[in-house]
Structure 1
């Protein structure tokens, strides 16, 4: 008796392709996807699937290729539309990433991303910042902060984004990124800036802000904790843009945090930043998604104080 494959032709197994594999993977939660489950969706044997992709990471690389293709605007950024171009890119990421359960969390997790697809995404975004007037180094730094910021918000929001409103968050993020290197002169060392009596607003500068952003997104719990400690140490050295950026990232990090000690550090850092009065409820609204019962009793006070002050 002849068998019927998934393509409806008796006796022949369904044909596989990288495109079919990626589309099948996108039909469910990519965070929990297994190779056996994917093979079942495709109507092929487990071993057949491995002839096309080496492992689960290979499948997720194919998925990322599809996702990046979906979100990249068709036009090229220029001096007139660069900010609009980045806004459209971010909203496309919002819609596409949240439409696939688990994908935003997958991208937010520190790991090796598909170099070809994410390299294209980075290259086009860097070109947009360059079109806006940033030099090569500043454009790369802007992309790191912008990319991390958007992805962390999406990962925290999950499949049902609520607060903070993405448009407000995105506007704050874009306005906070410098267009020209000269917009921010070489900063004082943070220790000196904290005690400076100069009339200019304090600022740690983009180099330090980038380092803190990377620290908060690190895979290492110790690195995340050190970043929080540094924020507390430098709390009087930040300008308004830096405070709002860090507060938003800390709120998103706290919602995603799995390490209890790091969660304590993130809440404590938010508490220290609140003393500056330079961010508002919309900047940390993601924190409302943090279940109170997931916080250690010793740390609940940090959370309650923030909730009482801002919400």
Structure 2
């Protein structure tokens, strides 16, 4: 497998927020990846009228739709027949279900390569990472892989935060920071000069494709990749440049963010995860001396710049 490109790919979670970008990148890749791409989805999604706008273009490009229940082992076993590579794009609420997917992959005779849904914050960035509450399901998945997988090889594509999801200012979570185009107001954490590494959602797909195209560099590896590094103040400057207006800036001290984070976890507030992740990013948990972009054949100019993400935000484009 190490010397071969994937032949038959199965994507799980293809119609989710990040799954759409990963699937689009895989089915549109040039040169084409593999002989066949399939997606595994629920019968409700497969038959949903609202999902046809997403599914129809993929089917027109030869993608096979396999419908079934992700919690039904027999459905998964059937979906795995003939598949050598599985790409999981499951969202945070379904991450733990990957343990069963991995168990069945290891038991199958066909699956050789598995991409867990690791797109996002590095859960092993430093010694404190193991204690972060939002990391726990991904940690369980990694532990299962380490302890139980012998035949199947895994590749983790760790991208850091998605710039598109980072930018919006949530009225109910102002202390988490963000940018409001309508009022031309920004809330930044700390002094606004702290560097953060981001990946655009289209680039997540591009990076997964690059990993699939370079198995010799990615098989069994933890790949730390990103589109660019910038600061909250530089983001404000880009919004000002593109809107042609001066923005107001409110600063939230790091300590205040920590206080709101603790209060939210104590109150079982679902926004607690947002505060934790924003704090991790603000404290440098996305920065590396060197990323793995180049080992995948990608240069800085191949990635989307900040200006594109800001332009989408100004136009009100949803991810």
TM-score tier after normalising by the smaller chain length: under 0.3
| Higher RCO, 1 vs 2 (CA within 8 Å, ≥6 residues apart) | 2
Q: Report the TM-score when normalising by structure 1.
A: 0.25
Higher helix share: 1
Q: Report the TM-score when normalising by structure 2.
A: 0.24
Higher strand share: 2
User: Based on CA coordinates, which of the two structures has the bigger radius of gyration?
Assistant: 1
